[in-house]
Amino acid sequence: MNQDANIAPNLAPDRAGFRSVRSFFLLSVFFAAIGRNTYYVGAIWMLAASGSNAGSIALFLALGSISEFVASAPAGYLVDRFDRRSLSLVSDWIRIAILLMTSAALVLQEPDYVLYGSVIFFGVADRLYLTASSGMVPSIARPESLMAFNSLAYVAMQAGNMLAAIATGWLLSAKPGTACFLFATGTFAISALSMFRTAIRYRILPYDHHHLAQAVREASEGEETSRVPARLVLNYVLIYVMGMLISALISKFVLEELQGTSLLFGILEFCWAAGAIISMLILTLRRFAKVDGRVTPIIVLLSGLAVAAFYPTRNLDIAIVLMALLGAGYNLSRVLIDVEIQRLVSSARLGRAKGWVHVACMGFSLLVYAGLAISGDALTPSAVFLAFGSGMIAVIAAGYGLQLVKNRASSHRGMPL
């Protein structure tokens, strides 16, 4: 594999060819998202339908989180060291092999232990793909279109999640559980073929013009461009864990508190993806090109309110609205933070920076899953949503309070005696 750190594409020779590269990249992201969501939605529903308690589902997701936690930093190093496209291809083929072995094992064994073993390896391969594909974005998107292209990538991802939610709900109700995993195998194969078509000639540049300009600007403000600000990491952790918590408990919420079926579960997952797509399409508009991470705390605060609202309502129509709002807030926050990181961190260190940010997300996720695994069915899903949503609100409110106190202290120090 070829090293691609500190490299950028040669845009001049063939703009049409470069548009083709971006199209195949988005196609790969779309089909990879279908496969990923099909795997997780199918596995979680199989565990819920088999009579496993919420702790069992939390254990499944915790094992995946542990594997991602361990793999995040090494994946970031590999992404900065080797060709990112090749790493994406390798991860697709690894996921295909994992799903084929999982399907074969489910014919002979109960789902619990098969899925526990499967998610460990799947999580590692999935983290490699996500880090590698995300690291490709600054090399195939123009600096002035960074927000729009990141948004399009998330649109492709959420469109894949939407299709996966509907397809998985139907497959689980009409066919044996292994059908959804075989379906995911096909989507990963298409993702690999699409990523293969993104082959492009690179030229080595003496420096990255966009990141150099940003580095000069940040250096003049006294900030280091090799580090991600703590406020961005905190917001990313909160919104990321919120999404993981919804994934862990929404199936139990449907079964126990809404008395629903797998089709209703698929509809709620569809609404999450629909809200995400609408919000991402809004971000592709030119007037939002300069939006930055300063609005992220507000989105996280509103998301906390929406999560907490599951408890007092527990109604299907309201749950549909809340899932759409949460899908929008989750993806808006992640896009804004991703773009901010891409603007602040040099291309050569982007993989490692994102890897360590994901380590923080996975570390906190593991604490949450450990709590769920220990509590089992002692708390209803809506009660857990209320507790975590309230925590999100408290953390953001405390952050604003500390910032206000800090600003007042600075103004008092600056006053003439």
Amino acid 163: pLDDT: 83
Q: CB count, 10 Å around CB of 73?
A: 16
Query: Residues 189-194: what's their mean pLDDT?
Result: 90
| Confidence band, pLDDT 50/70/90 cuts, at residue 188 | very high
Residue type, 213: A
Residue type, 417: L
Taking the C-alpha atoms of residue 234 and residue 230, their distance in angstroms, rounded to an integer, is 6
Q: What is the pTM (predicted TM-score) of this model?
A: 0.67
Query: Residues 380-398: what's their mean pLDDT?
Result: 86
Q: Report helix, strand or coil for 376.
A: coil
Mean pLDDT of the chain: 75
Are 41 and 164 in contact by the 8 Å Cβ rule? The answer is yes
Is 412 or 228 the better-scoring residue by pLDDT? Answer: 228
Amino acid 152: pLDDT: 80
Taking the C-alpha atoms of residue 342 and residue 137, their distance in angstroms, rounded to an integer, is 9
Give the pair of three-digit tokens for residue 180.
């959804």
Burial of 412: CB neighbours in 10 Å, binned 0-12, 13-18, 19+: exposed
Is 381 or 263 the better-scoring residue by pLDDT? Answer: 381
Are 20 and 218 in contact by the 8 Å Cβ rule? The answer is no
Give the pair of three-digit tokens for residue 74.
């090494």
**208: left (phi > 0), else alpha (psi -120 to 50), else beta?**
beta
